Each structure stands twice: as structure tokens, then as C-alpha cells.
Structure 1
């Protein structure tokens, strides 16, 4: 019997993804790096696929080659130091760096995303004006530049639907997200129309939990389940909280959130009835 393969911890997967990104930005091949640093190309492959954690001197050599400076350099070194631990709480930073954040990196590599939202339209389905209104509303001290960065990042994420193999999204939203007039009537009308259009795409499934459902398992808060192409990379749960971005990977957490999503899917309106409800709210909004 073949030995059981253990999934790499989420921190190690994040580290590998960031090192792949940095190499891509540098334009260097693994063979180029082997020539410049003496790091074996096969070893670099294992590092970039999260099969091993790089030794500190190896990681420092790569960061030197990629000209990575603080604060990003310190964050990557800390990520490597804790790479064998499970779970991850990533605190918010004052601004959004140009490079992908942890969530965006995982989302970009996912095969499918299951997203429940209790108060907002899912980020992957937001219009630019709705995104701007949401970010300004929940982050009242943000500068114009900070808002612009967040909005741009949200818009760029939607390019995942334009890939040759588009990201598969199953989104469930509470009716509260449809009824709240974020940004005013015009912005909300445009956003509701976007939802109707998006739901017609074969890679997007949209359901609404109506007010009439009463109490339901999603009321404690929103969450995202990300599923990946490789069996060795199990699902990851992402929870956006006031404290920061919480990533969960323990089997019991994945199982619990899978069950919650299944309950929500059963209690929500069918996709067709959901669109009828969105159309009804849209008519009332106009």
C-alpha cells in the first residue's frame, strides 16, 4: 500500500505561491536561478510546489536575487518560519500592496469557490461603483488612494472568469445583501442587474436565502470555501473578520463549513427563483 500523502500546510502553500510569483515577475527560469545561486533546479521545483520548506539560507538567496525588501521580505521569512503550522490569521495592513494578498493568491489557484455572504454582494460579482461604496462605508478612514487600490484589486479578481477554464463560483447571499441600498439607488440598480447577468453564465451559480427562511446556519457570518485542482491540496476556509483574514485548513473545520454550505444551499431559493427575487427587488429599486 502506498504511503498516505499529507497535504502541505496552508502557510507552506502560500509561501510556495509567493515564490512562484516572484520568479515570474523576475522573468527567470528555474535553470537561470540554478546558475546564479547554485540552488538545484529540482530543489527549487519542490520549494515552489510546497513539497518542502526552503532552508533559511536558500530562501534568503532567492529573496536577494528577486530584490525583495522589507516589509515584504520580513513577512516572507516569517511565513517560512511558521510554515509547518496549521491555520492562519493574517492581520490587516494599512494599505494593499501591489502584489497579491494571501486570499487573492489562493483564489487565483482555486478550481472553484463556494461563497456565502450575509451582508454584501460577493466580491467576484460586484460592480466597480458598488465596490467603492462598500469599501468607503466599512473603512471610513481610508484615503482615496487606499480605496482605489482595494477597488482595483477587486475588479482584477474578476478576470478569473475570463480564463480558458473559468473559475467556478457558487454564491449564496442573504436577501439582506440585496435590500441594503449600498451607494444609493442607481448604484444598487446597476449591481442587481449585474447579478442577473452573471447568473446566466454556466460557471456561476447564484442562490438567495430569503427573509422568509427565518433563522439559518449562515447568520453567524460570511465565509468562503476554496477548492483546488490537485487532490493533495484540500479545501481552505476563509473568513473575513474585524481582526483580520482567518484561514482554516483542519479537516474538522473543512467538514463543518462544507456542511453549513450544504444546509444553506438546501434552504436557499433555487437559482431560477433567486433570479426572480432579484428581479423583484430591482423593480422596487428603480
Structure 2
């Protein structure tokens, strides 16, 4: 919840997420939970500091298929960008520039392959409606 607050605070963080369609369709909880989660995602995606794109099934294989990761960038020139990958046994932090550059390139590929934000938002809302009873 504290992390979510940072996205809507007075000085919000910027977030750009690319999600595979399967993430939106993976049932977690019942229909009401799924609908609420997807509607919340859609509402957050409308904030000016948040960009959400969806990689639809129709795109086939994509650069994010090996698992989730975060590329953290900081506004200070002297700050290093970082990459975080999560595994079942813990988190892996990477800060070496060649590794970070590789993940930046993967993210750029994912953004290029994904639906534009407006189409992604329509897809999220359409999937949320599938859970209405």
C-alpha cells in the first residue's frame, strides 16, 4: 500500500509497465477479485505519471517471456540505474552497466511490441467486463 501511495502522492513516481496478456487473465481469487483488480489497474493507468501497455497473446513470443523484472531509473545524474529480478528464493539486484543496458533493451523491445497505452487500457477494461456477473 505504501508503494501505491508513491504513485499518487504530491510528487508521484513515474511508472511504465508492460504486462503480458496472460497476467491479466490468470485467475487469482474469484470473479469479483479479478474484476476489482483489473478496474483498479485501469484507473491507475489513467494517471498522467503511469503508462501501462499490454503484450497481447497475438504478438507471440516476446522479450519478457523469461520472467518479470524492474528497471529502476533515478533523476540524479550521479545515480546508477538498477535492475531487480525476483525469483522464488529471493531478489537479484544488478547495477553493472552492461547488465542494466541489456534489460533496458529488453524493455524497449517489449514497449515496441506491446499495444499502445490507449488500446491496452481498452483491453484491460474489456477483460474486467468478462468478470461481471
Shorter-chain TM-score: what band?
A: over 0.9
The runs of at least 4 aligned residues of structure 1 exceeding 2 Å deviation read none
- Alignment partners' CA distance in 2, 1:185 and 1:284: 9
Match of 1:187 among 15, 20, 33: 33
> Corresponding residue for 1:240?
86
In the other structure, the counterpart of 1:209 is 55
Partner in structure 2 of residue 229 of structure 1: 75
Question: Is 1:267 aligned to 2:122, yes or no?
Answer: no
- Partner Cα separation in structure 1 for residue 7 and residue 122 of structure 2: 24
Whole-Å separation in 1 of the counterparts to 2:5 and 2:118: 25
* Structure 1 match to 2:129: 283
Q: How many residues align?
A: 132
* Residue of structure 2 equivalent to 1:196: 42
Q: Helix, strand or coil: the match of 2:51? A: strand
1:249 to 95, 102, 111: 95
What is the alpha-carbon distance in structure 1 between the residues aligned to residue 47 and residue 9 of structure 2? 13
Please give the per-residue CA displacement for 1:87-134, whole angstroms capped at 9, x wherever unaligned.
xxxxxxxxxxxxxxxxxxxxxxxxxxxxxxxxxxxxxxxxxxxxxxxx
| Structure with the higher fraction of residues in strand conformation | 2
Quote the offset at 1:164 in angstroms. 2.4
- Higher helix proportion, which one? 1
Between the aligned partners of 1:178 and 1:194, the Cα distance in structure 2 is 12
The residue number in structure 2 matching 1:218 is 64
Give, in angstroms, the shift of residue 268 of structure 1: 0.3
SS of 2:75's equivalent? coil
Q: Distance in 2 between matches of 1:162 and 1:197?
A: 12
Distance in 2 separating the partners of 1:162 and 1:203? 9
Q: What secondary structure is seen at the aligned counterpart in 1 of 2:130?
A: helix
**Could you tell me how far apart the structure 2 residues matched to 1:156 and 1:249 are?**
25
What's the CA shift for 1:162? 3.2
In structure 1, how many angstroms separate the alpha carbons of the residues matched to 2:66 and 2:81? 21
TM-score, reference length from structure 1: 0.45
**Unaligned ranges ≥5, structure 2:** none
Which gives a bigger RCO, structure 1 or 2 (Cα 8 Å, sep 6+)? 2
CA RMSD of aligned residues (A): 0.9
